[in-house]
Amino acid sequence: MEIIEAQSGYTSFTLQVNGQRYALNVEPRRTLLDALRIDCGLTGAKKVCEMGNCGACTVLLDGAAVYSCLVLAVECEQRQLTTIESGATGNTVGALQRVFIEHDALQCGYCTPGQIMSLAALFDRDPSPSEASITEAVAGNLCRCGAYRHILQAAQSLAAAGANAAGSEDD
């Protein structure tokens, strides 16, 4: 592993993102969002409000959806981070990506990574969530293009598929 010399006022640590290690040497005040975007080069999570109001920066921290603009990168050492870039491997994120495309649950796409990550946390807990819990899961993710109706439909289609899968297991 690369050995990093800490500059004064900086701190060195590693982040585990999507199963990969990233070595960081940053000021302790660096947010997780900036660390992901600048230090890890993972720009999927977006910076919109930096105040926990919009959800565009949502990532999973040990499986829970968090606003990465409100978390410090140093707090995430030794913890599992999952971002939108993890989706290629056919997991929940991947399934959500598929239904988002099918339902055109996006326009400019700037809020989209955050929407998907908020839903991924929900679907990881419950593969067939109710309409109400879907709405609740994304109620903190603003979309100025107003793609909400399609976002909700996309998630509901995945929930229905999840419910079917659960039903067939019971048979």
Residues that bind another protein (CB under 8 A): 27, 29-30, 34, 37-38, 41-51, 53-54, 56, 83-85, 87-88, 96-97, 100-102, 104, 106-113, 116, 135-136, 138-152
What is residue 47's DSSP assignment?
-
For residue 85, CA distances in Å to 43, 62, 129, 171 come to 9, 16, 24, 35
Amino acid identity of residue 85, one-letter, is: E
Provide, rounded to whole angstroms, the least separation between the CB of residue 40 and another protein. 11
Left, alpha or beta for 109 (phi > 0: left; psi -120 to 50: alpha)?
Answer: left
Scan residues 97-126 and list those touching ligand FES (CB under 6 A).
Answer: 106-112
Would you state the structure tokens that stand for residue 67, as one six-digit string? Answer: 């606003």
Nearer to another protein, 8 or 168 (CB): 8
Instruction: Enumerate binding residues for ligand FES (CB under 6 A).
Output: 47-50, 52-57, 67, 69, 106-112, 143-145, 147
